[in-house]
Each structure stands twice: as structure tokens, then as C-alpha cells.
Amino acid sequence: MINNHYDYIIIGSGIAGLYTGMLAKELGNVLLLTKGNIEDCNTRYAQGGIAAPIGKDDSPDLHFNDTIAAGAGLSEPEVVRILVEEAADRISDLIHLGVRFDTVEGEISLTREAAHSLPRILHSGGDATGEALETALSQRVRSSPMKILEYCLVTKILVDRGRAHGVRVLDCRTGIIEEFGSDRIILATGGAGRLFKYTTNAEVATGDGVALAYEAGAEISDIEFFQFHPTALRLPGVTPFLISEAVRGEGGILRDVEGHRFMPDYAPEGDLATRDVTARSIVYQMQKTSSERVFLDVTHLPARKVTTRFPQIYRFCLEHGLDITKGLIPVAPAAHYMMGGVKTNSWGETSVPGLFACGETACTGVHGANRLASNSLLEVVVFSKRIVEHDGAGAKSGTGGTMGNPLHSLPARKPLSGAPLPGVVALQTMMWDKVGIVRNGKQLEEAAALLASWQRMLPETTDRPSYELANLVMTGRLMAEAALLRRESRGAHHRQDFPDTSPEWAHHISFRKD
């Protein structure tokens, strides 16, 4: 019997959780759960900005076309249409909530990023957009009446007769386990970037939402599509640090270790090619030059423009002995964004009634096989709003059953003899090597078999590290199996043994637990 009952339970404290909480508190009492403190999330590291078609020469149609093109045939047109049509209103909402976007002579300043046909990226503090959003929202949430429990890890979605009705929670400081009830549970747990050896993600990005939803019986879709950001700072002994897409949008040039500007050799768009093309091109060029990095060159841009437009990047590099106005920035790809995840409809509902998802942990159908730069923050505010709008209108929740995709189960695999007990570092290295930017069937088979064996060997989950490792292994296994099934190359999923895009695979791959 669950005594602690709330109208809404929100899991996660990034922009998805905070924004949804701010809206939901107008309709009922809200419990927000986060496994760290409220500021521990990926949102604050989002540098580039938020895309919206608000410029005088822009339009929802143009933004729609760019998003569909980037998605490589798997973005859902009706969902993308919602995204671009509702964008301007959601920007107004953020301004009302206290987010201050950069302006020029009183008008919001817009910049361009790769694969956008014109400037439509709003930013705040130059390259500190995520931090500005997180700060504005967390301040409002902390002063609101909603209940916030920090350092509380959700370990299970409670399901009864097919419907989600509560959560089981571990207090990471005391070890106490409690259960809380709600008819509306919203996953906003972020991505799974900590699956990989090199990542721009915060330590909290351990695939929790995907693992929780899968165990609860929800569909997981498009999980093979993981975006690797082409330009993360690569310095010995320094944690990978995101060098924003907007640096190339403002005129930055990629060069190899010999000084050659190589991107025109791979793509007609040159340095403004999509992220998947750019990341693979960098990998190939590093192999050609026997190097572990390339360079991003902004020395030809006015120094004042670089320091004012990218103050965070400039300061971080300077702290590590590099003045980017005078020297080249060493970069290489790193895991960045999970485009698949918990499958939802356009109202944020999963296939389990009572369970919703938003933000990076959700697969709305917007991104398809390749996310268009800066669409992620926009997706959050558009579809988080729709979860609460749908509920406020009194609509019946719960889609029930399949959501229209062919469903797969994880295959039974024989345990590998001699497989050692997994640790996070071993997992990250294996995923980077075998399920990374460039894949092939042999390595994916090896990864899937190893992950299945590791899953059987995992120790009992008793604390945050053990739960996070279990969630990473589960999410990694789903990713490897989906990548093995997709026998083609499309968007961010590239297979050496199936290098072409096939019309036979112009559909989603979805998993659901038996």
C-alpha cells in the first residue's frame, strides 16, 4: 500500500524535468526526484543554443525541411511539424520564465549551425545557453511549492495490471527505500553518454530512463542512433569538453595535423556538414594521418568575436594553456546525444498507460536517424508542455499496446566463458570500440554477447553505482542489438559491412520486454 501519493511524479532535474514540473504544479501536487542535487544534469553543458524559426527570413516550413533532411528518412513528419509550429510560443514561455537570450540592438541574436539553412539558433551568455536555462528554471523550482527529493534514485517503475502507478526510490545517502504513488509518472532522466569512453556528458547520464521504462514494459525505439559530436576538446589528461557546433557556424575551419582543410574532401557542405558526416570524416582523416585528433581553426576570426561569442570555450581552453584566438583547438569526436529512447506519441505518452517521457530519454520521432543541431532543447520545451496540456484538457491518458513499430525482444544469448565481471571503464571502452562511430557486424555480435554475459554477472544492486552500472549495461545491450539488426547505414548509424542506405530499412526498430 503506497501512502505517499502525488498528482505528478517527475524523475530528473534537467530542463525537461524542471520545465515540466513548473507547468504541472499549476494542475496538482508534484514530486520531483533526482539522484544527485537539482543542478546535476546535462542541460547546463548545452552550449550551442535552442533552434526556433523566428528570424525575418525564416519560417516553420524551412525549419521543418532542415529537420527532415537531417533525420535521414526516419523523422516523423507530423511530430516535426508540431515542433516547428509551436517553437515561437515556447521561446516566449522561456523569456517569461526569466531566460535572457542574447540580443543585438534590442532583437534576439541568431546564429547558424551545421545543416541549418540559415541562422535560427538563439543563445544566452554566448555559449552558456544550457546554464542560463537550468539556472532560471531551478531558481523558480526551488521557490515553488513542489516537493523536491535530491539524492533519491528511482530503482523501479511500479506497474499493476499494465498501468504505471508509482515508483520505488532509494535514498542514496541513507540507504532507505520508499515507494511513492502517482497516476502520472514522467521520465526526464536524460541520456546515456556515459556508455562511451569519450563523452561530453555529465556523470549522471547513465541510461536510467531507458532501463526503467524497458523493465516496466514500455517500448524502446531508435536506440541504435547515438550522436557523436564531431568536436570535443582532445588534450592529454583533460576530460573531453564540448566545442560547440556554433564555432563552425561562425566560420571555424577543421584542419588535420598537416594543416589541410579536409572537410570539402568528404562533403559538399564542407565544415557545415551534418554531425554524423563530420564525425565520420574526422575519424577517417585521423586514420589517414595516424593521429588521434584534428584541429578547429578560428584564428582567422576577429579575436573580440571569438571571446565574446564563446566566452566559456575561450576561458576553458585558456585555463589549459591554449589561447584559441592565436592557436588551433585540438578536437576529436565524443559521444554526445541519444536520439532514440523511450518511445512516445506526440503527447509524451509511452506504451505503458500512466508513464510519460520527455527530453533526451524520450524518442518522440523528431530526430530520426540524426539530430539537427540545437533541436534538442526545443524538443524539450515543446513536448514537455504537451504532456501537461494534454492532461489539463482532461484527455484520457495511456496509449496501450504497440505504438505502430515492429517489436523485437532481446535474443537469448549463450554466456561467454571467461568473461570477467564488468566495471564502468571496461564497459565504456568496449562500447567505444565496438558500438561507436563506425560499426561492423562482427564487433556488434561480440558486444551483444559480452553485454548479455555481463548482465547475468552483475552483482546485486544496492547503491547508486551498482544501479547505474546495471542501467548502462541494459541500455548498451539494447543499443548493440538494435545496431546489429539494422543492416544498413543511415544517419548516425554507420556499418562498414552495410555501407549503403536501404529503403527496406526506412522504419524504426523497437524493443519491448517479453
- In CATH, the architecture of 405-511 is Up-down Bundle (1.20)
The CA distance from 224 to 479, in Å, is 5
Q: Decide: 451 and 419 in contact? Cβ < 8 Å.
A: no
The CA distance from 260 to 116, in Å, is 25
Q: What percent of the chain has pLDDT over 70?
A: 95
pLDDT at site 246? 84
The CA distance from 29 to 169, in Å, is 18
The CA distance from 228 to 430, in Å, is 16
Indicate the domain borders of the chain.
Answer: 228-335, 405-511
Task: Please report which confidence band the pLDDT of residue 391 belongs to, taking 50, 70 and 90 as the band edges.
Answer: confident
Pairing type for strands 253-255 and 294-297 reads antiparallel
The CA distance from 253 to 296, in Å, is 6
Pairing type for strands 110-111 and 107-108 reads unpaired
Q: Is 184 a catalytic residue?
A: no
Lookup: cell for 437 = 562511430
Q: What's the chain's average pLDDT?
A: 92
pLDDT at site 400? 46
Closest CA to 479 of 326, 339, 283: 339
pLDDT at site 406? 77
pTM attached to this predicted model: 0.93
The CA distance from 210 to 360, in Å, is 10
User: Looking at 59-73, 132-146, 282-296, 464-478, which range is the least confident one?
Assistant: 132-146
Q: 228-335 domain in CATH 3.40.50.620?
A: no
pLDDT at site 434? 98
Q: Is 405 a residue whose pLDDT tops 80?
A: no
- 3-state SS assignment for residue 106: coil
Kindly report the length of the chain.
514
Instruction: Calculate mean pLDDT across residues 487-493.
Output: 97
Q: How many CA atoms lie within 13 A of 95 on its CB side?
A: 13
Lookup: cell for 512 = 519491448
Task: Give the helix/strand (H/E) hosting 447.
Answer: helix 441-457
Q: What are phi and psi of 171, to 5 degrees?
A: -75, 110
Three-point CA angle 112, 118, 124, nearest 5°: 35
Closest CA to 192 of 19, 42, 345: 42
Q: Which residue has the cell 554526445?
A: 336
**DSSP H helices in 300-395:** 303-309, 311-319, 375-392
Catalytic residue among 275, 280, 309, 386: 275
Instruction: Calculate mean pLDDT across residues 23-35.
Output: 95
Query: Residues 139-180: pLDDT tens digits?
Result: 888 888 899 999 999 999 999 999 999 999 999 999 999 999
DSSP line for 198-251? SBSS-TT-S-HHHHHHHHHT--EESTT-EEEEEEEE--TTS--EE--HHHHHTT
